[in-house]
């Protein structure tokens, strides 16, 4: 067995041991087609106030500029689909935010994987990323053979749908690349497009981020959500899962096995009134390790006003 094959086997085996559900590998190259699509998307203003999407364009489209000498991009998936669901008549929160902030969870796993590589393969240069750097995770997932990009813009898999996080590890190791995923299994289905209450899916795989409920409730930093969206919120207080919930492929979603993603009881049970009456001190204490801290207490209160109006 060649060293590249052996190293590839070691990395994929360790990734699964660490709890990742999938691991694929692609050669580190410039993403020329993705660069053109990203530029067009930005020119249309679909990023809204997410100015960070406009920065470091060259780094987003060429991993060798993030990690000099990079030869391989390792893409990893971690399932977050919860066994527990929110109680009826509670303000909706996206499933990814039920438990501990995934950044903490995945960052620890990436560090463990990189340390394992150094201990068992040798001195390598590598960096792990999870939503924290200019990396086109979905593009690398497709190039790594892990799935395809659905009409709702999420990476879909035939075996487990789309409720998973994507992380990348860029390294200067020469590894065996997987075959890219080339088949679109969405067919003529338009359930996600039809179900989006704000018409954020402007065309298959093209999302106007400035209209997305997740953007409005998390990324938008304005004091108020524009009134034109208030009657379209459908009780979503933090994030949105509508386009995933209606996707036929998510009937294959399996409950996650990551203890850190165990739902915070308040997320499952609190009524809208209880959220509204919660003090900032209580919010900061209960959700100190939760994704909800991203929008802060003031953001939650703003979102509640939009839901109620």
Q: What percent of the chain has a predicted confidence (pLDDT) above 90?
A: 83
296 pLDDT higher than 70: yes
Task: Give me the pLDDT at residue 132, please.
Answer: 67
Q: Is the pLDDT of residue 35 over 90?
A: no
Q: What is the pTM of this model?
A: 0.93
Calculate mean pLDDT across residues 1-6: 84
SS (H, E, C) 266-306: HHHHCCHHHHHHCCHHHHHHHCCCCHHHHCHHHHHHHHHHH
Under 8 Å between Cβ of 253 and 161: yes
Q: How many CA atoms lie within 13 A of 279 on its CB side?
A: 3
Helices of type H across the chain: 3-17, 32-43, 57-61, 102-120, 137-143, 191-195, 213-214, 242-245, 265-269, 272-277, 280-286, 296-308
pLDDT at 56 over 70: no
- The dihedral through the CA atoms of 30, 34, 37, 41 has a sign that is negative
Q: Angle, nearest 10°, between helix axes 102-120 and 3-17?
A: 140
pLDDT in tens, 266-281: 999 999 999 999 999 9
- The confidence score (pLDDT) of residue 251 equals 97
Supply the DSSP string of 145-213, one letter for each residue: TS-EE-TTSSEEBTTTBT-EEEEEEEES---PPPPPP-----TT--HHHHH-TT--EEETTEE-GGG-H
Tokens of 176: 């065996």
Q: How confident is the model at residue 221 (pLDDT cuts 50, 70, 90)?
A: confident
Show which residues are catalytic.
Answer: 131
The pLDDT, as a whole number, for residue 53 is 62
Pick the range with the lowest mean pLDDT from 28-42, 204-218, 269-283. Answer: 28-42
pLDDT band at 45 (very low <50, low <70, confident <90, very high): confident
pLDDT band at 1 (very low <50, low <70, confident <90, very high): low
For the stretch 145-173, pLDDT in tens is 999 999 999 999 999 999 999 999 999 99
Q: Is 1 helix (H, G, I), strand (E, B) or coil?
A: coil
Least confident of 63-77, 125-139, 150-164, 227-241: 125-139
| Cα four-point dihedral sign 40, 43, 44, 50 | positive
Residue 74 pLDDT grade (very low, low, confident, very high; cuts 50, 70, 90):
very high
Q: Which residues pair with 76 in a beta bridge?
A: 23, 167
1-15, 51-65, 174-188, 206-220: least confidently modelled range: 51-65
**Structure tokens, 57:** 């364009």
pLDDT beyond 90 at 34: no
Report the candidate in 81, 79, 67 with the shortest Cα–Cα distance to residue 29: 67
Q: Tell me the C-alpha distance between 201 and 105, whole Å.
A: 30
């Amino acid at each position: 067995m060649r060293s590249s094959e052996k190293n590839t086997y070691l990395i994929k085996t360790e990734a699964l041991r660490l709890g990742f559900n999938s691991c694929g590998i692609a050669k580190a190259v410039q993403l020329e087609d993705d660069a053109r699509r990203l530029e067009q998307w930005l020119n249309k203003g679909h990023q809204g106030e997410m100015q960070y999407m406009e920065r470091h364009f060259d780094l987003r489209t060429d991993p060798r500029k993030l990690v000099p000498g990079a030869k391989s991009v390792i893409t990893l998936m971690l399932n977050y689909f919860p066994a527990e669901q929110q109680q009826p008549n509670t303000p909706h929160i996206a499933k990814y935010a039920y438990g501990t902030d995934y950044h903490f969870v995945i960052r620890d796993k990436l560090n463990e994987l990189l340390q394992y590589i150094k201990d068992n393969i040798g001195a390598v240069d590598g960096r792990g990323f999870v939503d924290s750097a200019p990396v086109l995770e979905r593009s690398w997932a497709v190039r790594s053979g892990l799935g395809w990009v659905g009409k709702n813009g999420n990476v879909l898999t035939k075996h487990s749908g789309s409720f998973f996080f994507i992380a990348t590890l860029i390294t200067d190791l020469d590894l065996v690349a997987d075959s890219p995923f080339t088949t679109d299994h969405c067919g003529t289905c338009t359930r996600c497009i039809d179900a989006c209450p704000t018409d954020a899916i402007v065309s298959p795989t093209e999302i106007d981020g400035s209209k997305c409920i997740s953007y409005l409730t998390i990324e938008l930093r304005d004091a108020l959500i524009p009134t034109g969206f208030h009657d379209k919120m459908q009780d979503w207080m933090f994030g949105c899962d509508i386009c995933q919930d209606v996707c036929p492929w998510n009937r294959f979603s399996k409950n996650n096995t990551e203890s850190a993603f165990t739902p915070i009881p308040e997320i499952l049970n609190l009524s809208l009134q209880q959220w509204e009456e919660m003090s900032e001190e209580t919010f900061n204490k209960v959700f100190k390790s939760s994704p909800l801290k991203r929008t802060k207490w003031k953001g939650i209160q703003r979102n509640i006003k939009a839901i109620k109006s």
